[in-house]
Amino acid sequence: MPRIIPFGFGEEPLNFGDTAQLQCLVSANADLPVQFTWSFHGTEVVKNKKQDEGTMQIMKLSPKSSLLIIESLKANDSGNYTCRATNAIGSHEYTTTLVVNGTHTNTLLIDSPELFVCF
């Protein structure tokens, strides 16, 4: 059975508009071929899927690794990302959490206690 080496987005939250990358790598002794699938909150990510203003790309880097790229991060990209590696013997999955700081909402404050405008 392939064993995934633990991965993550880092210890600090990422910012709105940034690009995030995750590499899913199986141990050196995993039997080939290995198939990789990525999911977000339990829903499979489709290769090169456009979502709103951003794009998720999946690239197979080698027979034992896969890369997920999330471009133009938005607040709703925050959540759980899972890589599943499968071969003839079985499968293994690993999940990590992405936290995105910021939103695309702009707030304009005018020096008046009665006026608060969001756009």
Cα separation, 1 vs 104, in Å, equals 42
Residue showing tokens 């756009």: 119
The answer to whether the CB of 25 falls within 8 A of the CB of 67 is: no
pLDDT digits (tens, 9 = 90+) for 76-96: 999 999 999 999 999 999 999
75 secondary structure, DSSP code: G
Cα separation, 119 vs 105, in Å, equals 7
- Report CA torsion sign: 28, 30, 35, 36: negative
Residue showing tokens 């071929």: 33
Pick left, alpha or beta for residue 77 (phi over 0 → left; psi -120 to 50 → alpha; otherwise beta): alpha
pLDDT digits (tens, 9 = 90+) for 2-60: 999 999 999 899 999 999 999 999 999 999 999 999 999 999 998 666 555 468 999 99
**Of 32-36, 71-75, 111-115, which has the strongest mean pLDDT?**
32-36
What's the pLDDT score for residue 102? 75
CA angle, residues 81, 17, 97, in degrees to nearest 5: 20
**CATH of range 4-118; options 3.40.50.620, 3.40.50.720, 3.30.1540.10, 2.60.40.10:** 2.60.40.10
> What is the domain partition of the chain in residue ranges?
4-118
Query: pTM value?
Result: 0.80
Report the mean per-residue pLDDT for the chain. Answer: 85
